[in-house]
Structure 1
Amino acid sequence: MARAFAIVDDRADDMDRLDAVAVKALVRLFGFWKARIADAARLAGVGARTFSRMRAEKWDGALNEDQRLRASALVGLYKGLHLYFGAELADTWVKMPNDGPLFGGRTPLAYMLEGGLPAILEVRDYVDALRGGA
């Protein structure tokens, strides 16, 4: 019985480490995108105060499954943009008006903010398809 508790503890420790890495990655990518705190928080699925604490490395909470999925999709989008474009364009693309079929002249950032997690996943799929990864 003691071993079962050790496995649960190991998984909890793994999730804590995964969450810490995900938060650090989100903070960095939102910095590269020059996203406002309110926008970064909304994309990450947290409140603005929570995101401010994350950015200041003063947050010790746990991400829920929705937040982990958002982090994964956003990091994947960031990576896809850097594989497809040069670094400068990759980091500004999300704020550029886009006539692509998803965006209708809006910026990808606005599209993701309006559509939440489903839109984040769509934008990631869109960029993956552009670079031939889908």
Structure 2
Amino acid sequence: MPNAARAVKTQAKPNSRDMAAAGLRAFFNIARDWGLNTDAQMVLLGTPGRSTFFKWKSAPETADLKRDTLERLSYIMGIYKALQILLPDTTAADAWVKKPNTAPLFGGQSALDRMLGGNVADLMVVRQYLDVQRGGWA
């Protein structure tokens, strides 16, 4: 056992740039699955400049993300995961974000419409809504 414990200690911890790159790669895959255009992607990421956005897209490993963007990525990945759990049919899970929703939180609009409000809080409430729907904590 001591050798196993020592092996764990010597493993390199991911740095913030590695985590940012992984988060951006995941985001761009989710954006593809959800069929999001560039403008929607930019809003979800906190409206970075166009050149910054395209740099992130072409070379995510070079991205130095601010806390706000990392928080946005976390919420979006959580939303995506919750949908995959709630709707095991991938097509249905990916389509859900664009469908009108009668829940009071959405007022007949889609979850994507809510998320495109531009605030981190818009992403947070969609994530919380889905967590409650799947029986998680809010």
Q: Which residue of 1 aligns with 2:109?
A: 106
* Stretch of structure 1 that moved more, 57-66 or 16-25: 57-66
SS of equivalent to 2:109 = coil
1:101 to partner: Cα distance: 1.4
The structure richer in helix per residue is: 1
Unmatched 5+ stretches in structure 1 = 1-9
> Structure 1 residue runs of 4+, over 4 Å off?
none
Q: Residue 76 of structure 2: which of 67, 74, 78 is its match?
A: 74
Residues of 2 paired with 1:23 and 1:132: CA distance?
28
Residues of 1 paired with 2:60 and 2:132: CA distance?
37
Residues of 2 paired with 1:59 and 1:113: CA distance?
26
Task: Report 1:49-88 matches (<5 A).
Answer: 49-57=51-59, 60-85=62-87, 86-88=89-91
1:58 to partner: Cα distance: 6.5
1:74 to partner: Cα distance: 0.4
Aligned residues: percent identity? Answer: 31
Unmatched 5+ stretches in structure 2 = 1-11
Q: How many residues align?
A: 124
In the alignment, is the contact (CA less than 8 A) between 2:17 and 2:61 conserved in 1? no
1:60 to partner: Cα distance: 1.9
Residues of 2 paired with 1:31 and 1:83: CA distance?
19
Q: Which residue of 2 aligns with 1:3?
A: none
SS of equivalent to 1:99 = coil
Change (3 A) 1:49 1:97: farther
1:133 to partner: Cα distance: 1.2
Residues 61-114 of structure 1 show CA distances to partners (whole Å, capped at 9, x for unaligned) of 301000000000100110000000021111111111111111001111111111
Q: Which residue of 2 aligns with 1:15?
A: 16
In the alignment, is the contact (CA less than 8 A) between 1:53 and 1:59 conserved in 2? no
Computed over aligned residues only, the root mean square deviation of the Cα atoms, in angstroms, reads 1.8
Counterpart of 1:17, as a letter, is D
TM-score scaled by length of structure 2:
0.82
In the alignment, is the contact (CA less than 8 A) between 1:50 and 1:59 conserved in 2? no
